[in-house]
Structure 1
Amino acid sequence: MPEPVYAMHIHPLDEHLVASGGGDDKMYLWRSDTGDTVRVFGGHADSVVSVKFSANGEFVASGGMDGKVLVYRSATGELAVELEGPDEVVVSWERSLAHFVFSPVREHWSSPKSFFSSHATPLAVDRLAPEREHPPRRLFRRDDLDVVRYDSLLLPSATCPKVFSGHSGPVSAGRFTPDGKKIVSVSEDSSFVLWDPKTASALLRLSGEDARFHTGSITCVAVNRESTLAITGSEDGTARLINLQSGVILAALDNHSASIESVGFCDTCVSLAQGVSLSAANCDSMPCLTIPLVATAGVDGQVSIWDVQTFALRIVLTGHADAVTQLAWHRLSPVLTTCSADGTVLTWDARSGECVSKQGGHFGAVLSLGVTADGRRAISGGDDGVCLVFDLLQ
C-alpha cells in the first residue's frame, strides 16, 4: 500500500530539486522536472513528518515521529548532524541559515505536469501519464506523552541545550522570526510565547486566561516578513493578530466555523524604487514593502483573507469540498495556493477572490504543499503516497 507523503520542501536555489518525507520512514531528494530520484535517506524508525532545506540549500533536515532530527549535506548526502529529540518533530530553518526550528506535526481538473511516487509501494507507474550563520544553533520542540506532560523548547549548542519552558501543554508549533532575533511558540494549552533565543527568557506570554485570547488549542502560527506581527490560529475557529513589539492583541479574526489549520502573511513584495520590478532573485535584497494581507484556512473548507491594517475581512475563498490543510502565498504577486483533504490544489487571486487554477490528481487528502519562488509551479504531497507537480500558468 502507498505510504502518505507528510512533508515536502523545494530547494531555495534550484526550483527543480525537491525533498519529501513520508510514512515509509524515508526522505527522498528528487527532480520535479524529470521525476528522477537523486538520493534516498534512511535513518528514521518511524514516519518522516517534516523536511526542510537550509536557506542556501546546503543542508536538508528531516524530522520524524521517532524523535530524530537528521541533517544532511544536500550535495553529497553526508550526515552532518543527528539529534535525539522529542517523540515527534517538525523542522524549519531560520533565514540566516544556521538556525533551525523543531516543532510538532498536527496531524479532477487539469493534469499534473509530473509526479514522484517513491513513497508509494509498489511504484505507481500507471500514474505517469497525468501529467530557506554562525556556529549551528537549533531549536526543537518536545512532546512528552506521559500522564503528566512537560513541554518545552530546546536550543542545543556546542555545550548544553537551552530550555524554553513556559507552556503547560504540548507545543503545537515553534519557529524563529524571519529576522532571526526572536522565537515564537504556541501550544495546546492555548498559550503563545515570544522568546529571546540568547537568554531563553519569555518576552511575551499570552494565554486563555486573557479573555481576549484563544479559548481552544492553538494549532498554527506565522510571523510577517518584517518580524513585527504574528498571527495564531486555533481549534476554536478564530485567529489572533499580535503586535510583537508592544505585545498588544490587535484583533480577533473570526470567520470560521471549525478549527483553523493554516495561517500566513502575504509575502508579496512591492518595490520602493521607481522603475524596478522585483523578481524571485532580487526580492530579498531590494527595498520593498509587503502587501498587508493575511490568510486563515480552516477545516470548514474556507480560506479567509484579512486586511492587516484595518483587520477587516476582505474576501472569503470557497471552492474546496473538504478541510483546507495548507496555504502558501506567492512571492511576486498577491496570489496564494491552497490544498485540501478533498484532493485538490487551488490557486487564488487574493484581490478578487477568483480561483485562477484548479488542479487535481490525488486519490486522497493533500497533506503537503510548496510553490516555487517564481510562482510558476506548485508541488503537492498526498495521502496516496504521490507528489504531483503542477504548472500554474497552464
Structure 2
Amino acid sequence: MSEQDNDNIEDLVEEISPDDVVEIIELDDNGVVVDAMDDVDIDDESDEEDMEGASGGEEIKDMAELVFDKHTDAVFSVSIDPQTCDLAVTGGQDDKAYVWKLSTGEVVFECTGHKDSVTCTGFSHDGVYVATADLSGLVIVWKVATKELVFTFECSDAEWMKWHPASHVLFLGTVDGDVWMWKIPSGDCKTLQSHGCTASCGVVLADGKRMCVGYDDGSIKLWDLKSGTVQHTVTGNLAHKSTVLSLDVNPLNNLIISGSTDVTAKVINGATAKVLATFDCSSPGAEENSVEAVGFSPTHAFAATGTVAGVLSIWDTNTQICRHRCPHDAGIVSLQWDKLSPLVYTSCLDGAVRLWNARNGELTSTWTGHKDSILGFDISKDGNWLVTVSEDKTARVFSLSSPDR
C-alpha cells in the first residue's frame, strides 16, 4: 500500500416437496360414507409437524408479521438499514445475499457474486452502502440507492465484518489474523497485522479512532487506526485462556467487555487496557459452555453475558456483582440491549427471542415462529422492528409495538 493510501485513510479516521394426492373418507357407525375430501396434499400433515418446536414437540405460535423465504438454506446474518428502518440485508448458506423491504418482503436487489456462504452483512452508518462478505473472504459493497457495485476485494477466510460507526470505513477480520480496513468507495486500505492467530472479533471504540480486537489465543489488542499500531495488549495471565468470541464497548465510560470460550467475561479499561474485573459465567454440570454474547446497557451501569449453556447473567459494572441469572431453554446465540430502557433481548437455539428486565431478572416478552435455531437478529433504529434469521432458511419480521411488547 502506498504512502498516499495511508494518508487518505488517516485523514478519514481523523474526520471521523411431495406431490402425492390422497382421498380422505369419513364413515359413520354403519360404514356409510359421510364425507370425502379430495385433493388433500399430504404435505399438510408435515407442515403441522414443522411447526412443532424443539422443546417437547409443542406447537409453535408464529408471531411474525412477515416471513422472508427467498433463501434456500440456513440464513446466517441480518442487518437493518439505520436510515429508512425498512430495508434489511440477509446472507445465507446458499451463497446468496438479498436487500429487501421489511414492510412487504419485496427483494430490492440481490447482492450477487458470492460463491461461498454469506456470513457477514451490514449497512454503513448512514445507509448509503451495504456490504456483504462470505466465508472465503470475498467482500462486496453496493451503493443502495443505485444498486451499483462500488467495491470488491478478496482476502483470506472471513471471521467478522464491521462498519465504522461514523464514516465510510469497512473492517474485516480474518482467519489468518489480519484485520483489513478500507475506505469506501475508493478502496484505500490498511492492514492491522496478525501475530499468528485468528482475529476472532472486533469493535470500534467510542472515539472512532481506535479498535479493540480479540484473538483466538485469548489475547486482546487496542489498535490506533491512524497509525495502524498497537497501543495496548491484554496477554499472559490477564488474558482469556482461549478464544475471544464477543466484544462490546460502553460509550459512556470507555469500558470494554469481552466474552470467551473459557466461560469468563472481562471488563477492560478502554484507555489503558487494564483488566478491571473477570466474571465467572460457568454453569455447574454444563457439558459444553462458552460466552457467546456480551453487551453494555446504554442507559444503566449493567452488562449482560449470554452462554451456550443458556444462561443470561446481568452484572452491575460498578460493584462487579451478578444481579441476576436468567436461565433459557436452549443456548444463547446473541444479545442486544434496548436503547431506552434496562431491557435486554436474547436469541436462542430453540428458535425464540426473549426480552428480560435487567432490574429484576424477569422475562417480559417472547417472540416465536422459527422452526429451528436462530442464528442472529437485529433491531431497527426506531425500535419498531425485530428481524431474526434462522437455520430454517427464513428471516422473520416481528413488531415491537404490539400489545405483547
Tell me the TM-score normalised to structure 2 length.
Answer: 0.77
User: Which residue does the alignment assign to 2:399?
Assistant: 391
**1:328 CA drift (Å):** 1.1
| Secondary structure of 2:167's aligned partner | coil
Q: CA separation of 1:90/1:77 partners in 2, compared to 1, >3 Å: closer, same or farther? A: farther
Is the 8 Å Cα contact of residues 52 and 61 (structure 1) preserved in structure 2? yes
Change in Cα spacing, 1:42 to 1:160, as seen in structure 2 (3 Å) is: closer
Any idea what the Cα deviations from partners look like across 1:19-52, whole Å, max 9, x if unmatched? Answer: 1111111211111122222211111110110110
Select which of 205, 220, 241 maps to 1:215.
241
Tell me which protein shows more helix as a share of its residues: 2
Single out whichever of 86-95 and 187-196 deviates more from structure 2: 86-95
Where structure 2 has 5 or more consecutive residues not aligned to the other structure, the ranges are 1-70, 284-288
- The reply to whether residue 143 of structure 1 matches residue 175 of structure 2 is yes
Q: What is the percent sequence identity of the aligned residues?
A: 32
Amino acid at match of 1:266: S
* Structure-2 residue corresponding to 1:90: 160
Shift of 1:314: 1.4
| Matches for 1:196-275 after TM superposition, within 5 Å | 196-207=224-235, 209-210=236-237, 212-226=238-252, 228-257=254-283, 258-267=289-298
Aligned mates of 2:335, 2:329 — CA distance in 1:
15
Q: Is the 8 A contact 2:159 2:199 kept in 1?
A: no
The Cα of 1:76 is off from its aligned counterpart by 1.6
Q: CA deviation at 1:227?
A: 6.8
Cross-structure match for 1:65: 135
Contact 1:335 1:348 in 2 (8 A): yes
d(CA) in 2 for partners of 1:337, 1:51: 20
Question: Whose radius of gyration is greater, 1 or 2?
Answer: 2
Distance 1:295 1:349 in 2: 11
**1:344 alignment partner AA:** A
Q: How far off is 1:310 after superposition?
A: 1.4
Alpha-carbon separation, structure 2, partners of 1:172 and 1:183: 13
Cα distance, 1:167 vs structure 2: 3.2
Question: Displacement, 1:159?
Answer: 8.7
Q: Partners of 1:329 and 1:360 in 2: how far apart?
A: 19
* 1:372 matched residue in structure 2: 380
- SS, match of residue 346 in structure 1: strand
Structure 2 distance, partners of 1:358, 1:160, is 44
Gaps of 5+ in 1: 103-140, 145-150, 268-289
Q: Is this contact kept in 2: 1:332–1:375, CA < 8 A?
A: no
CA contact (8 A) 2:264 2:282 kept: yes
Letter in 1 for 2:249: V
Q: 1:307 pairs with 316, 323, 327, which one?
A: 316
- When residues 196 and 347 of structure 1 are mapped into structure 2, their CA distance, relative to the original with a 3 A threshold, is same
Q: In structure 2, how many angstroms separate the alpha carbons of the residues matched to 1:244 and 1:373?
A: 26
What root-mean-square deviation, in Å, do the aligned CA atoms of Structure 1 and Structure 2 show?
A: 1.8
**Separation of aligned partners in 1, 2:77 and 2:230:** 30
Q: Distance in 1 between matches of 2:103 and 2:224?
A: 41
Partner of 2:46: none
The residue type paired with residue 175 of structure 1 is V
Question: Which residue of 2 is the match for residue 360 of structure 1?
Answer: 368
